[in-house]
A and B are shown apart, each in its own frame.
Chain A
Amino acid sequence: MTVQTRPPRLQSAEGEVQQPRVFDSTTNPEALRAPQGMPMAMATRDLAVHYAAFLAVRGVDLAVARNKITALIGPSGCGKSTVLRCFNRMNDLIPTAQVSGKVELDGVDIYAPDIDPVEVRRKVGMVFQKPNPFPKTIYENVAWGARINGYRGRMDDLVEDALQRAALWDEVKDKLQASGLSLSGGQQQRLCIARAIAVRPEIILMDEPCSALDPIATLRIEELMQTLKSDYTIVIVTHNMQQAARASDYTAFFSVGSQRDGYLVEFGPTAELFTNPVDPRTEDYITGRFG
């Protein structure tokens, strides 16, 4: 009985390898599938950020659905962290940064002249790449933000509630006066999440929150995000595509243009983006064939 074998898919019978695809840096409108039929917490309109003369990211139209997890992914330098920092005006702290376009929180342009950036940051909290608890007690780490915001309720209740929501209470309830720095990396990151929650934000931004954590601590944070989204809207920047696939509801893929200008390539439901992306650039990146 004869058995035929066939050449590999990317190779013709003559052994000629197909040429890689070449793309320009335009965003394909069909690849932008904003969440339908649900309230939006934040939205950008033609958002662009310059650092001095350098255009870091341009033309971003992104809608962040309320009580959902939106992941921003893309290669280094694509502008995803820059966009994230626009969501609570953290870029104001960089002297050369110039933001154009609109960033709306509940329909209000947070870059409008009469908007207080401190109030924006109270509503839009942030958790950073490396856990950065204050060199204070666990209790004070959580209470601090509320106290400087003039919180007048029972502080003990607030601290317990924030630690409960951050899934840390059971581990620290007997050592609230211990230093926040005495905790493990994963616990410190959850403490930072509790600290963000304590000022009652609407939105929590997470900039690679698990990159310094081991896989088990990473999964705990991802589980926690699923719990938190019933009360908060979460936007996460991650280099870990499996994390974006596991943990988010919507994913935005950014790429880099020929002038190192970041731009949004595709945005849509995570399940669709990871099984059937519209844009070939997304496919190439998420399957590891980028660059």
Chain B
Amino acid sequence: MARALYDRELHRLENEVQTLGNMVRDALRHSTDNLRRDDLAASERLMAFDRDINSRRYRVESEIMTLIATQQPVAGDIRLLAAMLEVVGELERMGDYAKGIATIHVRLAGWQMPSDVLDRLEHMADIAADMLGRALDAFERRDAAIARAVIADDDTIDAVFNEVFAATISGPVDDARAIERANYMLWVAHNLERAADRVTNICERVIYTVTGRQAVVEEDEATDRGDAVSVFG
């Protein structure tokens, strides 16, 4: 192999992206698990864990820039590295969503969410984490078909979000504390829904890496319906 050192560095960076992705996937799952168990200490640890995610993101980004500057990658290599730059940014933002859920948990200060809402939020976290896992797999395998299938799954999490929305706005409208709690529950759902959106962005990068063509993925119609999603969009 004519560029053994370069290839080794490229593969090491790919592994770094995968590791970051797995950290974020764990963070998403833990965010709602902590809510279910009402484990405030675990949510505080999750907030601290976000700093690890952030620092890894910026270290990997810096190393990608160094590789681009020193090795002048082209063709599939530059598409891969450009995608990796984008993907680490998306992952870091998804970590912020998990941290946001942990922060909400701490602010709720021991108030336990209704179990039907918790069920749905856990379901959303499972969907988002599963989508992320498959997106990372698609990236590793250079499989555009998997990436497209993951994008299609975004509708599923949007449907659950709408269920959470319907469940939370059905409460009393003159109780400020109830409204505040409903608001927090919606923010958790929103963060999970946005995390899944960012998984679709990662999948678009996978498709670009594999095919060399920018994937034009239609925005979920929910964002244009003027319903709950656009409130947070």
Contacts and interface: CB of A to CB of B under 8 A. Distances in A.
A253 to B, nearest CB: 11
A283 B19 CA distance: 28
Overall SS of chain B's interface: helix
A9 B206 CA distance: 14
- Measured as residues with beta carbon below 8 angstroms from the partner, the interface class of chain B is 20 to 34
A290 interface: yes
16 contacts: A3-B19, A4-B19, A6-B14, A6-B15, A6-B18, A11-B11, A274-B74, A275-B74, A275-B78, A276-B75, A276-B79, A276-B212, A283-B75, A287-B74, A288-B3, A291-B2
A259 interface: no
A2 interface: yes
Interface in B1-57: 1-3, 6-7, 11-12, 14-15, 18-19, 22-23, 26-27, 30, 49
Overall SS of chain A's interface: loop
A6 B78 CA distance: 21
A150 B125 CA distance: 83
A4 B2 contact: no
Q: Which 4 A-B pairs have the closest CB atoms?
A: A276-B212, A8-B11, A6-B18, A288-B3
Contacts of A11: 11
A76 to B, nearest CB: 14
Contacts of B2: 288-291
B74 A6 contact: no
Given A6-B14, A6-B18, A277-B75, 13 more contacts: A1-B23, A3-B23, A4-B18, A4-B22, A5-B22, A6-B15, A6-B140, A9-B14, A275-B78, A283-B76, A287-B77, A289-B3, A290-B2
A183 interface: no
Contacts of A120: none
B149 to A, nearest CB: 20
A7 B11 CA distance: 9
Interface of A: 1-11, 241-242, 245, 274-277, 282-283, 286-291
Interface string B51-83: 000000000000000000000111111110000
Contact of A3 (B6, B14, B22): B22
Given A9-B14, A276-B212, A241 B23 contact: no
Contacts of B30: 1
A5 B12 CA distance: 10
B23 A287 contact: no
Contacts of A242: 72
